[in-house]
Chain A
Amino acid sequence: MSKKVIHAIFDDEEILLQSVKEIRSKKYDIEEVYSPFPVHGLDHALGLKETRMAITAFIYGCIGLSFGGLLIYYIMISGVGKSWPMNIGGKPNFTFYQNVPSFVPIMFECTVLFAGHLMSLTYFYRNKLYPGASTKSPDPRTTDDKFLMELIVEDSDKEITKILKSTGASEINEKNIEDE
């Protein structure tokens, strides 16, 4: 059986939000929503899972902290530090814990460096954003002032157009897609 893609365009984020709730309550699956700015509550209305970006940042931060600590431990205390002992301000570099106050700034900076950059790279990777990638949005107006809802339904389905119209879609485009 063949299917069709419906692109419903909305002019206002509140109307869109109402429509999303209405359509989801009628057991339709919404493929995607494209919007020019973040619409609050849309992720919950669409039933999207919570993002785990903050968790990745925490993990990367821990890696950065350990990296900074180990780097300093090797250079100042254990490895190079053994063959080149230093005594600065009457504080010899025998042990890590006695010198740690002056190591805090760099360990902190390493934490932020790793968390910030690796989380951003993860964000680019998960969103498939890279220099020169082409946009996936079906309509260029979605970065300006239009909100686009994408649905894939059975070709014979006439109900959905009615619901979209009644919930305030300003424009509905249908396209048949081949189904093997």
Chain B
Amino acid sequence: MHQESEIRDPLILGNKTYHDITREIALPVEGKANKYWWILFGLSVVLFLWGIGCMAYTIGTGIGVWGLNKTVNWAWDITNFVWWIGIGHAGTLISAVLLLFRQKWRMAINRSAEAMTIFGVVQAGLFPLIHMGRPWLAYWVFPIPNTYGSLWQNFNSPLLWDVFAISTYLTVSTVFWYIGLIPDFAMIRDRMSKTISPMKKQLYTLLAFGWSGRAKHWQRFEEVSLVLAGLATPLVFSVHSIVSMDFATSVIPGWHTTIFPPYFVLGALFSGFAMVETLLIIVRKVVHMEAYITIKHIEYMNIIILFTGSMVGTAYITELFMAWYSGVEFEQYAFLNRATGPYWWAYVSMMSCNVIIPQLYWIKKIRTSFIATFILSIFVNIGMWFERFVIIVTSLHRDFLPSAWSMFSPTFIDIGIFLGTIGFFFVLFLMYARTFPVVAQAELKTILKSSGSEYKKRSHE
């Protein structure tokens, strides 16, 4: 058996057996929801319905109901789109990249992180869909044979690359997630035979796809997981690189920079890990996963946040330096205006939330505290929203003709749609937390003997 160093902290706390893991992970699915779940769910549904109302109003009346104008013709919609897509990236990093690096701590958190990815990408996809104005014609973005003459897509356009990247990302992530879920659904199905209602048992029988855990199936399962991880890794980097090219291939000062792809990918991982922490710190309490999602997991994620946050800070400063060094007046003005113009407060929020505040993670006390991590993760979520807002709006609002300069202010519809997607996201996530096994229990059982705290103690005595 694989032995693990004594110095390495255990990943599963307490004296657990395989059966304990089964029982504790099936518990939230089998039990009834508590008061807090219903309060949160109710709030999310209200927000979601509010968002649907605002979306319906936008589609019925036109994009004019947003705060856009001729100068700032892209604002909250694309900000929210990039923000949600970015959040999704941490889930794939945890489930795919950390699998390739054989990081065992991913096993307790990959299920929820990947759920967050899928639900986040769903929210992101809504924004371009609504922005089309006529969402019932959304299928025009796909190259399908048509009767409109030579109406085909332009494959030189990063917006079309986005269509392919995001569709691939959403569907491949979902399949990757589901293949991992099948053995866990089977576990719930097999427990249901004794206690729970027949309808629930039928549902989980349907979801489990008839999984029985044969040796050959497990062999294929492991290879398929590995290959999907290998495919998802370049995929996740390509997705946000392509999103950044929506901006970088344009000629707008402030957007036209070669640093964008790596800078966006790191920013995405940074914001995604913050969202994973926000969610998991709540989830571990609400569904009692304290033994599986430990402070060690949070600390590892905080180290990634510290690293990616510093990289993002370096990118901000590189951008400023390159603007000065380019000697191009327009480029220099775009960045000067960004930091000291009328949107200085957005720039300051971005800088403090993304660059300065995560530096607190150098302090071990803060890095290993649930409360501090929760508060800091909220700051990062806000900061990364501001980053996209700063990049998009400050680059547009003072364009080539000073007579056209203007400001952007969101209407209540803009705000409503954004809040609506937050509501929709939490509706999906809360329903997931009650019906899905939130920890990949089959995978977790493989590390119980090497990383469980009791087993570690015993093997070193």
Contacts and interface: CB of A to CB of B under 8 A. Distances in A.
Chain A complexes with chain B: yes
Most chain B beta-carbon contacts within 10 A, residue among A53, A80, A88, A109: A109
Contact of B156 (A54, A99, A113, A123): A99
Contacts of A76: 154-156
B219 interface: yes
B458 to A, nearest CB: 14
A116 B191 contact: no
A84 B213 CA distance: 55
A37 B214 CA distance: 9
Interface string A108-150: 1110110111011001101111111111110011111100000
Contact of A113 (B172, B176, B209): B172
A105 B234 CA distance: 11
Interface in B140-195: 143, 150, 152-156, 158, 160-161, 164-165, 167-168, 171-172, 175-176, 179, 182-183, 186-187, 189-191, 193
A33 interface: yes
Nearest to B213: A34
A151 interface: no
A106 B172 contact: no
Interface residues of B, number: 66
A33 B219 CA distance: 12
B9 interface: no
A174 interface: no
Given A48-B216, A113-B171, A120-B224, A130 B231 contact: no
Nearest to A101: B156
Contacts of B443: 37
B213 A36 contact: yes
A143 B190 contact: yes
B217 A127 contact: yes
A177 interface: no
Interface centre among B167, B193, B215, B235 (most CB of A within 10 A): B215
Interface stretch (B16-24, B68-76, B426-434): B16-24
B6 interface: no
B227 A53 contact: yes
Interface size class of A (residues with CB under 8 A): 35 or more
Interface centre among A14, A113, A141, by most chain B C-beta atoms within 10 angstroms, is: A113
Contact of A129 (B165, B171, B210, B223): B210
B117 interface: no
B415 interface: no
A89 B222 CA distance: 46
B213 A75 contact: no
Contacts of A135: 186, 189-190, 208, 210-212
B221 A38 contact: yes
Given A38-B222, A43-B219, A129 B211 contact: yes
Given A57-B231, A131-B209, A145 B219 contact: no
B210 A134 contact: yes
A128 to B, nearest CB: 7
A23 interface: no
Contacts of B158: 105
A39 interface: yes
A112 B190 contact: no
Q: B161, B182, B219, B224 — which one has the most chain A CB atoms within 10 A of its CB?
A: B224
A137 B212 contact: yes
A166 interface: no
B161 A36 contact: no
A34 B175 contact: no
B234 A112 contact: yes
A83 interface: yes
A62 interface: no
Given A131-B209, A135-B210, A86 B223 contact: no
A102 B155 contact: yes
A108 B238 contact: yes
B445 interface: yes
B206 interface: yes
A71 interface: yes
Nearest to A146: B18
B1 interface: yes
Interface in A28-45: 32-40, 42-43
Kindly name the residue among A105, A131, A133 whose own CB sees the greatest number of chain B CB atoms within 10 A.
A105
A123 to B, nearest CB: 5
A53 B230 CA distance: 13
Contacts of B190: 135, 137, 140-144
A27 interface: no
Contact of A145 (B17, B165, B446): B17
B164 A32 contact: no
A108 B238 CA distance: 9
Contact of B212 (A14, A91, A136): A136
Nearest to B251: A89
A127 B223 CA distance: 13
Given A109-B168, A123-B179, A143 B210 contact: no
A109 B232 CA distance: 11
Leading 5 A-B pairs by shortest Cβ distance:
A133-B210, A145-B18, A140-B190, A137-B212, A129-B209
26 contacts: A32-B214, A34-B213, A35-B213, A36-B22, A36-B187, A37-B443, A38-B221, A42-B218, A105-B164, A108-B234, A109-B164, A109-B235, A112-B231, A113-B171, A116-B168, A117-B175, A120-B224, A124-B209, A126-B220, A129-B209, A129-B211, A132-B209, A136-B214, A142-B212, A143-B183, A144-B191
